Amino acid sequence: MDEAGDAINFSKEWLTMREHAIKKVLNVKKLIPISIIFISKEKMRALHGSYYGAAKVTDVLSFFYEKEVGIEHEYGEIFLCTSFVYQQAKRYSVLFEEELTRLLIHGTLHIYGYDHTKLSERKKMNTVAQLIVQQIKKHD
């Protein structure tokens, strides 16, 4: 749902294009299955609080689940705070879809082990994210 409560629709082609770009840059044949979940500020605050101890709203949270007893295969989840995505798109003067793409890439990179707590990690993660964006732009 978007800020107004309307459904967020993106085509399978839109999502597939981003998937192909991510696979190409990460040099993987198949992506880990990832669920994309759109949530409200309240749910994001609660989720952030329960996992990180600080009940605050953020744009995206990602979780990676390894294959183990009771889990058939590894997978990931990306939680996006819809209203936050809209606010950031407005702040950065970009379309909602562009900000959504940036955050999906960001969340996916976290699932694949990228982080940004250290400056060197942040630079590496940003470089990879930019390469993915460039791949997408080639085919948009």
Q: Which residues of 114-126 are buried (b: 16+ CB within 10 A; e: fewer)?
A: bebeeeeeeeebe
All structural domains of the chain, each given as residue ranges with its CATH number in brackets, are 12-139 (3.40.390.30)
Q: How far apart are CA 61 and CA 19, in angstroms?
A: 18
Tell whether the model's pLDDT for residue 98 goes beyond 50.
Answer: yes
pLDDT recorded at residue 2: 46
Q: Which residues of 41-77 are buried (b: 16+ CB within 10 A; e: fewer)?
A: eeebbebbeeeeeeeebbbbbbbeeeeeeeeeeebbb
pTM: 0.87
pLDDT digit string, tens, across residues 51-64: 888 888 899 999 99
pLDDT digit string, tens, across residues 65-77: 887 766 677 899 9
DSSP 38: E
Find where tokens 């930019």 sit: 130
pLDDT digit string, tens, across residues 15-36: 889 999 999 999 999 889 999 9
